[in-house]
């Protein structure tokens, strides 16, 4: 295709280590239908915004009838999606005195619902850029966060993610580190005694907090992978078994006769449930994330809702459970930790299979 004007040199941008290998540029012929046939994302170079805003604006444009879409709200002026002719007009108007306002004023604009914690920040200088970076990092939280993550864990993990953002450390490295902390915690707990129980659970809980960093880095640097999903899923389950096994061994050594049979029965239910979910996300839902099962407790739509329906599943989320276990360990109640783990494993086993039976038709269709 013959270009109307020379393309800008993007080699410096594409060589940036933060996006190298993650973004590619392809020059394609204009599709049949001309300017109205496809949408173009127009992003202001002096704005920093929430990572999901271009996607939300694009989805609104594809489902609406107007020529242009943006995120709802006067403050969200950093990204637009428009047909090719209008996108060209916006790009050319950006260097004029009245900016984009002259082009946008007479238009009907489709407004998309802002994503969770959406923001658009001006970044004309270093000071405002630093402030925008803080907003960017804080927006890495999720609407489906558990209670402990929302009120405690994110306040620790987000600063760590900010410090690691420009480092060569990958999200999968963090996942492995979190697992190592949990395994070490389980080993310490198994040595017996009050101190071992408390120190071990603190290690497990610190691993749970660190486990939030891998997802934050992945969202911040767009370093998503199926391997990362599976590694995070399996590591969480191994961590749960590690501290439960450590508590079982600790109690058994102190003469609690019921610890081993209860612990083994709970572990059996837990493993059966999780392995079945692994098969579902692998062969039915094509993912490595348990939240891909739309009818399960881990489903993001369920956890992102409001009211009792969303709060109850969060009481069974790992972040809240592990935090509660630390409190119990501090009170010297390792027996309550094992009973709580067993109760959760038995209840989730029963609920899961009831839900599985209810949704078997949908599973077979997929």
Residues 274, 351 contacting (CB under 8 angstroms)? no
Cβ within 8 Å of residue 113, ≥6 positions away: 56, 71, 72
Tell me which residue range forms the domain holding 61: 11-120
**Which has more pLDDT, 27 or 319?**
319
In this predicted model, which residue has the larger pLDDT, 143 or 170? 170
Collapse the DSSP code of 121 into the 3-class scheme (helix H, G, I; strand E, B; otherwise coil) and give the result.
strand
162 and 107, same structural domain?
Answer: no
Instruction: Tell me the two tokens of residue 46.
Output: 């002096």
**Do 252 and 310 share a domain, yes or no?**
yes
Q: Helix H segments across the chain?
A: 11-14, 53-63, 84-93, 101-104, 126-138, 147-148, 154-164, 171-190, 194-221, 226-253, 259-283, 300-303, 308-314, 318-330, 334-358, 360-365
Residue 134 covered by a domain:
no
Higher pLDDT, 86 or 188: 188
Residue 49, in any domain of the structure: yes
Same domain (yes/no): 199, 235: yes
Quote the pTM value: 0.83
pLDDT, tens digit, for every residue of 206-254? 999 999 999 999 999 988 899 999 999 999 999 999 999 999 999 999 9
Instruction: Indicate whether 1 belongs to any domain.
Output: no
On whether residue 6 sits in a domain, the answer given is no
Residues 192 and 265 both lie in one domain: yes
Looking up residue 251, the CATH number of its domain turns out to be 1.20.120.1760
pLDDT at res. 359 = 93
Triad 147, 153, 158: Cα angle to 5°:
125
Q: 241 and 100 in one domain?
A: no
Same domain, 95 and 170: no
Beta-carbon count within 10 A of 56 CB: 22
Q: Are residues 100 and 151 in the same domain?
A: no
Instruction: Choose between 35 and 217: higher pLDDT.
Output: 217
229 φ, ψ to 5°?
A: -60, -50
Q: Is residue 2 predicted with pLDDT exceeding 50? A: no
- pLDDT tens string 105-159: 888 999 999 999 999 998 888 899 899 999 999 999 988 888 899 999 999 999 9
Report the domain count for the chain. Answer: 2
Query: Which tokens sit at 113?
Result: 């619902």
Same structural domain, 69 and 186? no
74 plus 181 within the same structural domain: no
- Tell whether 107 and 159 lie within a shared domain: no
3-state secondary structure 26-38: CCCCCCCCHHHCC
Q: Could you tell me if residue 73 is inside a domain?
A: yes
Taking the CB of residue 17, how many other CB atoms lie within 10 A of it?
9
> How many percent of the chain have pLDDT more than 70?
85
Q: Are residues 48 and 89 in the same domain?
A: yes
- Alpha carbon 128 to its chain centroid, in Å, reads 26
């Amino acid at each position: 295709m013959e270009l109307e004007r020379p393309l800008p040199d993007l080699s410096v941008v594409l060589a940036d280590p933060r996006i190298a290998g993650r973004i590619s540029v392809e020059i394609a012929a204009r599709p049949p239908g001309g300017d109205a046939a496809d949408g173009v994302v127009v992003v202001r170079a002096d704005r920093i915004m929430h990572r999901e805003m271009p996607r939300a604006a694009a989805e609104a444009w594809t489902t609406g009838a107007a020529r242009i879409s943006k995120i709802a709200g006067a403050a969200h002026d950093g990204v637009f999606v428009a047909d090719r002719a209008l996108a060209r007009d916006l790009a050319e108007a950006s260097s004029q005195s009245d900016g984009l306002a002259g082009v946008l004023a007479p238009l009907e604009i489709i407004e998309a619902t802002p994503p969770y914690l959406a923001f658009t920040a001006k970044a004309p200088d270093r000071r405002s850029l630093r402030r925008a970076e803080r907003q960017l990092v804080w927006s890495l939280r999720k609407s489906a966060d558990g209670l402990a993550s929302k009120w405690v864990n994110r306040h620790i993990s987000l600063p760590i993610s900010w410090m690691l953002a420009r480092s060569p450390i990958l999200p999968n490295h963090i996942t492995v580190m979190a697992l190592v902390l949990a395994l070490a915690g389980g080993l310490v707990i198994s040595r017996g005694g009050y101190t071992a129980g408390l120190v071990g659970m603190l290690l497990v809980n610190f691993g749970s907090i660190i486990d939030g960093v891998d997802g934050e880095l992945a969202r911040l640097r767009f370093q998503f992978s199926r391997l990362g999903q599976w590694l995070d899923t399996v590591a969480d389950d191994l961590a749960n078994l590690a501290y439960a096994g450590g508590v079982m061994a600790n109690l058994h050594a102190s003469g609690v006769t019921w610890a081993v049979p209860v612990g083994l029965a709970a572990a059996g239910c837990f493993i059966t449930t999780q392995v079945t979910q692994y098969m579902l996300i692998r062969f039915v839902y094509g993912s490595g994330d348990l939240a891909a099962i739309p009818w399960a407790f881990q489903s993001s739509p369920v956890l992102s809702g409001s009211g009792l329906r969303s709060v109850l599943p969060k009481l069974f989320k790992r972040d809240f459970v592990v935090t509660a276990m630390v409190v119990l360990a501090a009170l010297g109640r390792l027996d309550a930790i094992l009973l709580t783990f067993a109760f959760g494993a038995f209840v989730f086993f029963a609920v899961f299979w009831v839900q599985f039976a209810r949704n078997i038709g949908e599973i077979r269709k997929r």
